[in-house]
Structure formats: structure tokens, C-alpha cells
Amino acid sequence: MDAGHALPRAGIRRRARRPGAQSSPALRTCGVAPGPAGCRTMASPATGVVVIVGSGLIGRSWAMLFASGGFRVRLCDVEQQQVTDALENIRKEMAVLELRGSLRGRLSAKEQGSLLSGCVDVRGAVEGAVHIQECVPEDLELKRKVFAQLDQIINDQVVLSSSSSCLLPSQLFAGLVHVAQCIVAHPVNPPYFVPLVELVPHPDTAPETVDRTHALMQKIGQSPVRVLKEIDGFALNRLQYAIISEAWRLVEEGVVSPSDLDLIMSDGLGMRYAFIGPLETMHLNAEGMVSYCDRYGEGVKRVLKTFGPVPEFSGATVEKVNQAMCLKVPADPEHLAARRQWRDECLQRLAQLKRQMQPQ
């Protein structure tokens, strides 16, 4: 998902463990304290050090988020030029957001930019860190290599987190000495404007690691959710893929056009799902959840039984959908970039509205 790369193995030494030492279950709190329920407080400068491994899109987004919370951020990648370019990109983006009144946190763009630094020496970067966020491409072997390197040099307190969108923690963290400190923190793209983060622990992840990561995400203004056990696709993508599957079938079977299908979501379900989820929608569409199930349960089951098999996502339907999408947004870099920018601006304004509309 990100464009960063694994750091070189050369020069990384294995740190000797104390005889009988184990990963501490009482992980250091890193200066993060959750505020009152529903409250998102932003930190003052120098709250702690966070290391970002990978300087691509997701790595840069995480760097901006942690800087907005007052954390000192060390951005690491394999080549100095990649790091330099990423830091320049981040500072420019912060300045633009500040001009638009959309910069997150209490610090100015200049103050947040001063919290950023870059490096290619991961061994030096992890010294004193309270949290390490891996943001390399979605490749299991690459990520495992990065975590194996980090496992050799970290202490028993730092949280080691992956941005993976689909790789299971049991795959990512298998065999690591510090597995109790490992967790997946999956952001939603673009993370700066979409606050949800899925927290997915390894079966051996310490509860304190989950609690600390949850508190940290709240500290920087994100909305963390706990995925209580491993499952392929985590929670968000399973919901997303269920929607994609039925959307594809409806188009493939000639029930609706591709453009009308998108309208059903953007001007229908998406309008209310931006503020309340499907379960609360059920609760409010009757006199509570029990009433909804009594009234509509049989009808829901009847429709669900008509759902077909998993689509192939190939053949004539691909061409049909592609033609419709390209009429709306031509698939060249310029048009796609412009549409993504428009999307991000919409998400930015929606995020502002959601903050204004929070119940008192």
C-alpha cells in the first residue's frame, strides 16, 4: 500500500538479551493518556519519539498525523534522497493545509515541521522511540524482513506496529522475540482525512500493547477500533468487499448501470453511514434493534438468500464498468490525480462537519 522500502540489513547488530529476560508485560506508557469519552486531545510538542519505516504515501501520512499530535517523528527509508523528498513534500502539504484552515492539531505548520527528521540508519532511529510504524509495500516477505531487522535492535518497551491492510499478524510477526509488543494498526486511505484505524493483535500480543496503541491513536485524533481476533481482511475490508461483491453482481446482471450503482451509495447509503453505522441504522429505523429484527428480519433473510456466488471480476463486466468510470474520470494520471484531490477535499470538509456535529 505504501511506496517505501525495507532498510538495509548491513550494520544491524543483534542486541544481547539479559539472561532470563522476557518482553515486559507492563509496557511503558509513552506519555499517552486517553481523555474523556469522545474527547480527542492533541499533545504539546516533544511528547515522545515515533519512528516511521517507509517514506511513501502511507508513511508520509502517518508522519503528519504523529507530528500533529506533538510527537517527534523520525522518517526512515533506504535512500537519503527518498527521505529528503518525503520531508519536503510533508512540509509543503502542512503549509497548504494551514492556509485552508485544515491543519490538524494545535501546533502551526512550522512547529509541526520542526518535529520531523529523516534517516537511513534505522538502528540509530529507534533509540528512545515509543512507537515504530512500519509502512513498506504490502509484501509479506518484505515486511517480515523489516520486522526481523527491527526485532534485533528494539528494547522491551517500544510498540512495533504494521500498517498492513490484509496480512495477518500471525504471518507478519511469527518467530519474533518481541511479539508481545507487535500489533497491526491498519489506516484507511487517506489517513489524514479518514480517521479510522483497525487494531489487530497477534495471538501473543500483550493486552497492554493494544491499550497503548489505542490510546496513542486517540491522542493523534484517529478513531481506533479493536479487531478482537484475526480474520482474513480484518473488519473494514470484509464489509467493503461484501459491498463490492453485490455491487458487481447488480451491474453484471443488468439490474442497474455502473453510474447509478455509485449514486446509490454516494447519495443513499453513504449519506447516513457517514454518521451512523448499519447497526445503529437498524436500531433507529424501528423502535430499537429488537423491533427491527422482529419486523424486518424475515425480509432481510429472503433477500440475502438470493445473493449469487463471488464474482470473477473479469470479462465483459470489467469492460462495462471501466467504460462507465472512464466517461466520468478518464484513466490518465492528470484526471485521476485531480479527482483524488477533489475526493480528499470532500473528505476534509466531511471530517470538519462530523466534528461540528458530535453530540454534546
Domain boundaries, given as residue ranges, for the chain? 49-226, 236-328
pLDDT digits (tens, 9 = 90+) for 132-144: 999 999 999 999 9
Confidence of residue 359 (pLDDT cuts 50, 70, 90): confident
pLDDT digits (tens, 9 = 90+) for 185-243: 999 999 999 999 999 999 999 999 999 999 999 999 999 999 999 999 999 999 999 99
pLDDT, mean of residues 60-81: 98
Q: What average pLDDT does the chain have? A: 89
Closest CA to 182 of 147, 140, 231, 222: 147
Q: Which residue has the cell 513498506?
A: 136
- Judged on CB neighbours under 10 Å (0-12, 13-18, 19+), 65 is buried
Buried b (16+ CB within 10 A) or exposed e, 263-282: eeeeeeeeeeeeeeeeeeeb
Closest CA to 261 of 286, 236, 277, 244: 244
CA separation for the pair 32, 220 (Å, rounded): 10
Q: What is the pLDDT of residue 355?
A: 87
Superfamily of domain 49-226: NAD(P)-binding Rossmann-like Domain (3.40.50.720)
Amino acid at 125: A
Is pLDDT larger for residue 44 or for residue 182? Answer: 182
Superfamily of domain 236-328: N-(1-d-carboxylethyl)-l-norvaline Dehydrogenase; domain 2 (1.10.1040.10)
Is pLDDT larger for residue 13 or for residue 152? Answer: 152
pLDDT, mean of residues 278-297: 98
Beta bridge partners, 187, equal 197
pLDDT, mean of residues 42-62: 84
Q: What is the pLDDT of residue 7?
A: 52
Closest CA to 190 of 59, 5, 75: 59
pLDDT above 90 coverage of the chain, percent: 85
Cβ atoms of 77 and 7 closer than 8 Å: yes
Cell output for 246: 453485490
Cα Rg, the chain, nearest whole Å: 22
Q: pTM of this prediction? A: 0.85
